[in-house]
Chain A
Amino acid sequence: MTGPPEGAVPIASSEDVVRMRQAVRAAAAAAGMSLVDQTKIVTAASELARNTLVHGGGGTGRVESVVNARGRAGVRLVFSDTGPGIADVEQALVEGWTSGSGMGLGLPGARRLADEFALETEVGRGTTVTVTKWTR
């Protein structure tokens, strides 16, 4: 919420969501993830990027290759928007609850698909979601 993070690419259209998916798949493959884990993090990226686009009114996404203290490689994704924010975070993370016409599984699903999940939001200021997945 303090301007776009470094290395972030804009998410302003459905094509950007597709591009983001491809970038995440490439990063996950480079980190040495299994096909299952690649698909999981790509799907999480897809959900979060679409949230940024649909609910946040567009924003930015960033893909990072990270290594943890024990030397395991991973992929971290940061999605930021300056949209309306989420008034009730707990409700937004409840399965099946939707503010729009979706299935209401995107945010809770992305949380389950990733290993680490962080959500920062402020009503009227925007939302930043960070997820990380480590190779096994």
Chain B
Amino acid sequence: MSGGVEKAHLPELLRSRRDAVLGRWVALAAEGVRGRITERELRAELTELYDLIERTVGEEAGGAGAELRAALGEISRNRARQGFSPSETALSVFALKQAVLEQVGATGDVDAYSEFIGFSSRVDDLGLVTFETYSAAREQIIADQMEQLLELSTPVVKLWDGILGVPLVGTLDSARTQVVMETLLERLVETGSQFAVIDITGVPAVDTEVAQHLLKTVMAARLMGTDCVISGIRPQIAQTIVALGIEFGDIETKATLADALAYALGRSGIRLSEGAGA
């Protein structure tokens, strides 16, 4: 440890006045996180950090530094999951500066004052570590969610004997259309269905690409002897399709899934009657 002799005031203070500094730190940090984390939990976290800071403050860099960063990272990740903002997490680290400064003031040790500047910038670094870990943790959460969204499979459901339903929700890109088409064609073979209803109520916008994908799916089903009905065409979608100049040709389209089901039932020769039991 270089220059250890004249640089020992602050580490000494952290040791000798441990309870006072730690107690004050916990009290200051508790103000910022009031009610959302118990004081006991907070004290346990900060005590662990305090021990590590005490060990690292005297030395330039070493094993304890990495350990300290890891511990900070863990705390920051937990806070991110508990819904704390990154500034709240960083502020509870920065609170250590005030706690230490108050004790330095109480001792009146001038050398400790000059060392405090170096200590202060170290604490700033630690605060930044919590920021970095926090955003990394949030990005991980977002990446996970995006993956889950992509994995949202499109189910093909049986609406009636011989009638399949394909409810489409969200953006229809090439990759998803491919999945939809494959699933639909497989289920057509399995069930021997004569009709498939593709419902686009959940598709926010139908542009030429989406339309092209829909048409290809319908054509493929047709080659296998299945008639497709496209349902869920809302007024604004209908007007947009007309303005774009897209033609669905002889493909049956209906405003609602119910209309499409009624149409398919009618074409299959199934009559529904208002039953006596109703």
Which A residues lie at the B interface, using CB under 8 A?
Answer: 14, 18, 21, 25, 35-36, 38-40, 42-43, 46-47, 50, 95, 102-103, 105-106, 108-109, 112-113
1/0 per residue B193-211: CB within 8 Å of A?
Answer: 0000000000011111101
User: Does any Cβ of A come within 8 Å of B246's Cβ?
Assistant: yes
How far is A95 from B244 in the complex, measured between Cα atoms in Å? 9
Does the CB pair B205–A42 fall under 8 Å?
A: yes
How far is A39 from B240 in the complex, measured between Cα atoms in Å? 7
How far is A43 from B211 in the complex, measured between Cα atoms in Å? 12
Q: How far is the CB of A2 from chain B (nearest CB, A)?
A: 29
Does the CB pair A35–B243 fall under 8 Å?
A: no
Does the CB pair A102–B212 fall under 8 Å?
A: yes
Q: How far is the CB of A121 from chain B (nearest CB, A)?
A: 20
How far is A18 from B204 in the complex, measured between Cα atoms in Å? 11
Given contacts A50-B209, A105-B208, is CB(A43)–CB(B240) below 8 Å? yes
Does the CB pair A113–B212 fall under 8 Å?
A: no
Given contacts A102-B208, A103-B211, A106-B208, is CB(A112)–CB(B244) below 8 Å? yes
Given contacts A43-B206, A47-B208, A103-B211, is CB(A113)–CB(B240) below 8 Å? yes
Q: Which residue of B lies closest to A109 (CB)?
A: B244
Does the CB pair B209–A102 fall under 8 Å?
A: yes
How far is A18 from B208 in the complex, measured between Cα atoms in Å? 14
Does the CB pair A108–B173 fall under 8 Å?
A: no
Does the CB pair A113–B209 fall under 8 Å?
A: no
Does the CB pair B208–A109 fall under 8 Å?
A: yes
Does the CB pair B209–A39 fall under 8 Å?
A: no
15 additional contacts, CB 8 Å, given A43-B205, A47-B208, A102-B209? A38-B236, A39-B236, A39-B240, A40-B236, A40-B240, A43-B240, A43-B244, A46-B205, A46-B207, A47-B244, A103-B212, A103-B246, A105-B208, A106-B208, A109-B245
User: Does any Cβ of A come within 8 Å of B78's Cβ?
Assistant: no
Q: How far is the CB of B233 from chain A (nearest CB, A)?
A: 12
Find residues 237-254 in chain B having any chain A CB closer than 8 Å to their own CB: 237, 239-240, 243-246
- Tell me which residues across on chain A come within 8 A of B237, comparing CB atoms: 39
User: Does any Cβ of A come within 8 Å of B171's Cβ?
Assistant: yes
Q: Which residue of B lies closest to A48 (CB)?
A: B207
Selected contact of B243 from candidates A25, A38, A113, CB within 8 Å: A113
How far is A109 from B17 in the complex, measured between Cα atoms in Å? 75
Does the CB pair B243–A109 fall under 8 Å?
A: yes
- Name 16 interchain pairs, CB-CB below 8 A, sorted by A: A21-B205, A35-B236, A36-B236, A36-B239, A39-B237, A42-B204, A43-B207, A43-B240, A46-B207, A50-B207, A103-B211, A103-B212, A103-B246, A105-B245, A109-B243, A113-B243
How far is A43 from B210 in the complex, measured between Cα atoms in Å? 10
How far is A14 from B236 in the complex, measured between Cα atoms in Å? 24
- Tell me which residues across on chain A come within 8 A of B245, comparing CB atoms: 95, 105, 108-109, 112
- Tell me which residues across on chain A come within 8 A of B243, comparing CB atoms: 40, 109, 112-113
How far is A52 from B208 in the complex, measured between Cα atoms in Å? 15
1/0 per residue B204-246: CB within 8 Å of A?
Answer: 1111110110000000000000000000000111011001111
Q: How far is the CB of B111 from chain A (nearest CB, A)?
A: 54
